[in-house]
Amino acid sequence: MHDSIYEDLNQQQAAAVAHGQGPLMVLAGAGSGKTRVVTRRIARLMMDGVRAHQILALTFTNKAAGEMARRVEQLGGDYVRVATFHSACARFLRSEAHLIGFAPDYSIYDTQDRDTLIKELMAEQHISPKEAKPSLIGNWISKLKNAAMTPDDGLLGSSDVMRLVERLWTPYHERMKKASAMDFDDLLLNFLQILREHPAAAERYQERFPWVLVDEFQDTNRVQYDLLKLLCPPASAGGSGNMCVVGDPDQSIYGFRGAEVRNILDFESDYEPCTVVRLEQNYRSTANILRAAETVIANNTMRKDKRLRTDAEDGASILRLKATGSTEEASTLADRMQALVDEGTSLEEVAVFYRAHWLSRGLEQALKDKGIPYEIVGGQTFFERREIKDLLAYLRVLINPLDDVSMARIVNVPPRGLGKVSLERLRGRALEEGMSLREAVGEASLHDVLSKKARAGLADLAETLDKAQKAAERGAQAALRAVLEGTGYIRHATSYGDAEDSTREDNIAELVSDTVQYDDAGDEPLAGDDSSPTGLPGYLQHVALLTSADRGDDGPAVRMMTVHAAKGLEFDHVFVCGLEEGTFPSMRTADDPDGLEEERRLMYVALTRARKTLMLSSARDRMVNGSMETMRPSRFLREIPEDLLENYAPSWRRYDLDDDGSHSTGWSVTPDPEALAGLQKGVRVRHDLYGSGVVRRLAGRGMNARAVVRFDDGVEREFVLEYAGLQLLEDMEF
């Protein structure tokens, strides 16, 4: 049996799997088979007598966790629950939250719920949203929490925003505790607090999980690392020291979310003596792609020494597109994708990466024009839709009557005659009586400040909630159906008279289906943990802990996403667009050496997602904040050896641009002055690619002269006239 564990592993992979007791750090380069190593190490531990419930394996998405657990089972191991940091802490807190004054059925607030509460607190303190958006305050609180800070840590800064953060953080913390609610950051911080302040609890979890494995360790923040050191202390601190961390500092790209690349750099000294295994054999990319990525990342200083190698062939050259503008860039990329499809490539093996979502607009239009299906990864997810959030708020109130944020969301949805003023009156009465908003809704004696319609509406709501609460004893499906029947929510959601009515109804039907599937399947408890919630509480926890990465669609379409969203994915054919200074790398890193290194790690991630071909593009001219700007190619392009690159020009432009924005002499063409002499607003022109259209606007002079043309298909496109190849047809009235 042991022999099968080591089957098809290289020497370094086998060494990591075979490692016995003591700390282990696996530096796993892109495409080096790290998931295979982690799963086989878990299976090997169980074959050596370690019980499944003694192993705690942590990662960052539910999708990755499920895949890892599935692979362990396929290897013949017992079922082992692999969890995200947040889901593991959420489960542990169900049995430990009482130690810090929380109910076992606490609510989990998402970002929108957090911002709603902050907005309420700002209103109470007469702070205008013009001073700072609630989301900005919330993001700062989150950032500080990820750095393991608390409201008691003193002065945070002298800026107006930070003064507001200081002013609102303590009330936010107190209101959350009063509502028995935690945001995502609290799940980690509160469990960390329990481990620090209650040694008996810490010892209990150390004994429960003498073996801890962490995937994507480079993405951990300070709080997560502090948690790990308390869950599995080094031997020098009296712990088992059986900590295995797997990661790659070259792929640490989540600094904006609090990730500390320093954690993986410091692990050796924190867990001394530590065994280090380097996985340097790449099984994903061609040699040319790998060499390009390695050459780029070598410019960073904050990294562990490793060098990826591959037995793969050199492969195709990396295509380098220097477009005149964003329109040309988008059209050329779309044409190249169509050529791949014509050659037999499946659309699901094609992906486009960009630094920020705003870069996708032009490419979306180009793909639509050519009839190429595409999917924007990271758009609004199912559970973020308004109707779904409304219904989930109803369900949360059923298990946590103290959840005022959820109660406020649904108290007048569907409308019950309770406007903003009436709601504030009811809140005031509830505050006077020391009640939650849910309790106030059910207390008719407090409704004297409301209109007759509002009183009747609240009476119906209280009755619906009581019935749904009883139904919840039969599971999530029964609770949801009781809410739908009692509120008439489907009628409400389909009464807008717009094209989305049927979509909203379909979404509600899908939510019902989801609860049915959950009730039928149940929720597997974390290994050795009987405290995991079931029924409706379990379902709500399940939904709250889902991430956008877990909800992707696998349809046959080109995938378009930010490089951050591409982490952990791989495709045969990858396009990286918008490679200009100020775009990628971001202008925010211009004076920040650490930020620039993270941008370069981001570029490294983008390059190493590609298996077979890679195309990199930049635009000489790009619309930025409403104005056309001349861009400089990204420094990351200059860091790639020239012998790996092949310049690529669109078929309708028989020349190539130099990096300074001019066109190469070997391919140059000269615009015909006579052909452009009659060009003016309102005339008809023809383009070899887009057909006929009308000139709508003209701007600029000389090399910067531009025209906006509205083509007969209704799409407007902007051209640099020197290179556009427009042909005059006939004058016409505009």
Q: Mean pLDDT, the chain, as a whole number?
A: 84
The yes-or-no verdict on residue 146 having pLDDT over 70 is yes
DSSP 521-586: H--PPPTT------HHHHHHHHHHT--GGGG----SSEEEEEHHHHTT--EEEEEE---BTBTTTB
More confident position, 62 or 285: 285
d(CA 369, CA 348): 19
Produce one character per residue of 593-626: b if its CB has 16 or more CB atoms within 10 Å, e if not: eebbbbbbbbbbbbbbbbbbbbbbbbbbbbbeee
pLDDT score, position 488? 92
The yes-or-no verdict on residue 254 having pLDDT over 90 is no
**164 and 140 Cβ atoms separated by less than 8 Å:** no
Active-site position among 35, 494, 534, 589: 35
pLDDT score, position 549? 45
**336 and 575 Cβ atoms separated by less than 8 Å:** yes
pLDDT score, position 77? 64
d(CA 287, CA 177): 55
d(CA 273, CA 267): 10
| Secondary structure of residue 115 in the 3-state scheme | helix
The yes-or-no verdict on residue 671 having pLDDT over 50 is no
- Both tokens of 312, joined, read 């793969």
- The pLDDT of 90-119, averaged and rounded, is 92
pLDDT score, position 200? 95
pTM summary value: 0.72
d(CA 492, CA 697): 46
Active site residue 215: yes
More confident position, 45 or 238: 45
Q: Best-predicted range by mean pLDDT among 51-65, 603-617, 650-664?
A: 603-617
pLDDT score, position 360? 82
**Where are the alpha helices (H) located in 322-444, listed in sequence order?**
326-342, 360-369, 386-399, 404-410, 420-433, 437-441
**pLDDT digits 0-9 by tens, 30-45:** 888 888 899 899 989 9
d(CA 702, CA 721): 9
**Which pLDDT band, with edges at 50, 70 and 90, does 155 fall under?**
low
- Both tokens of 683, joined, read 């005339």
- Both tokens of 734, joined, read 């505009």
- The pLDDT of 347-374, averaged and rounded, is 87
Q: Which residues pair with 633 in a beta bridge?
A: 580
pLDDT score, position 677? 58
Contacts of residue 452, defined as CB under 8 A and 6 or more positions apart, other chains included, come to: none
Q: Which residues pair with 615 in a beta bridge?
A: 319, 575
Active site residue 34: yes
More confident position, 710 or 659: 710
pLDDT score, position 401? 92
Among 387-396, 643-652, 656-665, the least confident range: 656-665
d(CA 290, CA 287): 5
- The pLDDT of 239-249, averaged and rounded, is 88
Pick the closest to residue 25 from 306, 302, 262, 243 (CA basis): 243
Q: What is the 3-state secondary structure (H, E, C) of 663-690?
A: ECHHHCCCCCHHHHHCCCCCEEEEECCC
The yes-or-no verdict on residue 391 having pLDDT over 50 is yes
The yes-or-no verdict on residue 460 having pLDDT over 80 is yes
Q: What percent of the chain has pLDDT over 90?
A: 42
Among 290-294, 306-310, 313-317, 451-455, the least confident range: 306-310
Active-site position among 215, 250, 329, 599: 215
Active site residue 35: yes
Active-site position among 113, 216, 390, 598: 216
The yes-or-no verdict on residue 440 having pLDDT over 50 is yes
Active site residue 487: no
Pick the closest to residue 634 from 606, 666, 594 (CA basis): 606
Look up residue 527 and give its amino acid: A
Pick the closest to residue 278 from 312, 308, 244 (CA basis): 308
**Which pLDDT band, with edges at 50, 70 and 90, does 524 fall under?**
low
Torsion sign, CA atoms 286, 287, 288, 294: positive
**Which pLDDT band, with edges at 50, 70 and 90, does 24 fall under?**
very high
Active-site position among 13, 34, 224, 375: 34
Active site residue 612: no
Helices (H) and strands (E) in the chain, counts: 29, 21
- The pLDDT of 528-547, averaged and rounded, is 75
Nearest-10 Cα torsion for 60, 65, 67, 71: 130
**Which pLDDT band, with edges at 50, 70 and 90, does 394 fall under?**
very high
Q: At residue 167, what are phi and psi to the nearest 5 degrees?
A: -70, -35
pLDDT score, position 1? 47
Helix axis angle, 62-74 to 34-47, nearest 10°? 50
Active-site position among 13, 224, 251, 613: 251
d(CA 263, CA 256): 15
Look up residue 135 and give its amino acid: S
pLDDT score, position 295? 93
Q: Which residues pair with 622 in a beta bridge?
A: 629
The yes-or-no verdict on residue 71 having pLDDT over 50 is yes
More confident position, 337 or 68: 337
pLDDT score, position 530? 56
**440 and 446 Cβ atoms separated by less than 8 Å:** yes
Would you say how long the chain is, in residues? Answer: 734
pLDDT score, position 670? 36
The yes-or-no verdict on residue 551 having pLDDT over 60 is no
Among 11-15, 401-405, 449-453, the least confident range: 449-453
**Which pLDDT band, with edges at 50, 70 and 90, does 531 fall under?**
low
Look up residue 6 and give its amino acid: Y
pLDDT score, position 443? 86
Q: At residue 276, what are phi and psi to the nearest 5 degrees?
A: -115, 125
Q: At residue 147, what are phi and psi to the nearest 5 degrees?
A: -90, 10
pLDDT score, position 666? 31
Active-site position among 36, 284, 504, 609: 609
The yes-or-no verdict on residue 656 having pLDDT over 80 is no
The yes-or-no verdict on residue 227 having pLDDT over 90 is yes
Residue recorded with tokens 């807008």: 496
- The pLDDT of 320-342, averaged and rounded, is 92
d(CA 626, CA 41): 54
Strands (E), 177-252: 181-183, 211-214, 243-247
The yes-or-no verdict on residue 525 having pLDDT over 70 is no
Q: Best-predicted range by mean pLDDT among 3-12, 100-109, 261-270?
A: 100-109
Rg (CA), the chain: 29
Q: Are strands 318-325 and 571-576 parallel, antiparallel or unpaired?
A: unpaired
**Which pLDDT band, with edges at 50, 70 and 90, does 732 fall under?**
very low
DSSP 719-730: EEHHHH--EEEE
Q: What percent of the chain has pLDDT over 70?
A: 87
Alpha-carbon distances of 206 from 15, 224, 267, 561, rounded to whole Å: 26, 16, 19, 40
**pLDDT digits 0-9 by tens, 472-506:** 999 999 999 999 999 999 988 887 766 566 677 87
- The pLDDT of 78-92, averaged and rounded, is 87
Q: What is the 3-state secondary structure (H, E, C) of 576-633?
A: ECCCECECCCEHHHCCCHHHHHHHHHHHHHHHCCEEEEEEEEEEEEEEECCEEEECCE
**pLDDT digits 0-9 by tens, 586-645:** 887 767 888 899 999 999 999 999 999 999 999 988 866 445 678 899 999 999 999 999
Contacts of residue 412, defined as CB under 8 A and 6 or more positions apart, other chains included, come to: 418, 419, 423, 457
- 52 CB neighbour count, 10 Å cutoff: 16
- Both tokens of 653, joined, read 């432009």
The yes-or-no verdict on residue 351 having pLDDT over 60 is yes
Look up residue 83 and give its amino acid: A
pLDDT score, position 655? 53
pLDDT score, position 659? 61
